[in-house]
């Protein structure tokens, strides 16, 4: 699937943090952004999702916060591939491959309504 760019994001209701996925035509990363403060948006951390041409489109991706807005996740076709925790800014997952399953632990995905 030839895709130039893919983008999706979700800002926490407090307006302080955002999860952002960006594919620039060569590689895709999931970012945790700090959205408030005097210096504008600041990348806190990133998780590598893929390099090369994706087998998905912008319509297949979703960035959303969990029910408590403590973690933000990146989904491809409804499957959770990466998470950032807003308490300690740790990232989990990434490295998407079409023939693989995400390597996320059950305690990390808690709050997203997902059973592994």
Q: What confidence tens digit (pLDDT) does each residue in 53-97 have?
A: 999 999 999 999 999 999 999 999 999 999 999 999 999 999 999
CB 104 within 8 A of CB 50: no
**Residue 34 domain-assigned (yes or no):** yes
Q: How many domains does the chain have?
A: 1
**Residue 1 domain-assigned (yes or no):** no
**Residue 116 domain-assigned (yes or no):** no
**Residue 67 domain-assigned (yes or no):** yes
51 lies in which domain range? 6-109
**Residue 57 domain-assigned (yes or no):** yes
Q: Which two tokens stand for residue 30?
A: 């999931």
**Residue 115 domain-assigned (yes or no):** no
Is it the case that residue 4 has pLDDT exceeding 90?
no
Taking the C-alpha atoms of residue 39 and residue 99, their distance in angstroms, rounded to an integer, is 41
């Amino acid at each position: 699937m030839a895709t130039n760019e893919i983008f999706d994001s979700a800002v926490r209701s407090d307006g302080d943090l955002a999860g952002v996925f960006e594919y620039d035509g060569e590689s895709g990363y999931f970012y945790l952004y700090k959205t408030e403060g005097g210096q504008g948006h600041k990348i806190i951390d990133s998780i590598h999702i893929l390099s090369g041409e994706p087998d998905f489109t912008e319509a297949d991706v979703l960035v959303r916060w969990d029910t408590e807005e403590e973690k933000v996740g990146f989904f491809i076709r409804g499957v959770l591939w990466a998470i950032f925790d807003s308490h300690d800014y740790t990232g989990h997952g990434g490295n998407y491959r079409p023939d693989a399953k995400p390597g996320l632990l059950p305690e990390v995905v808690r709050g997203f309504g997902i059973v592994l």
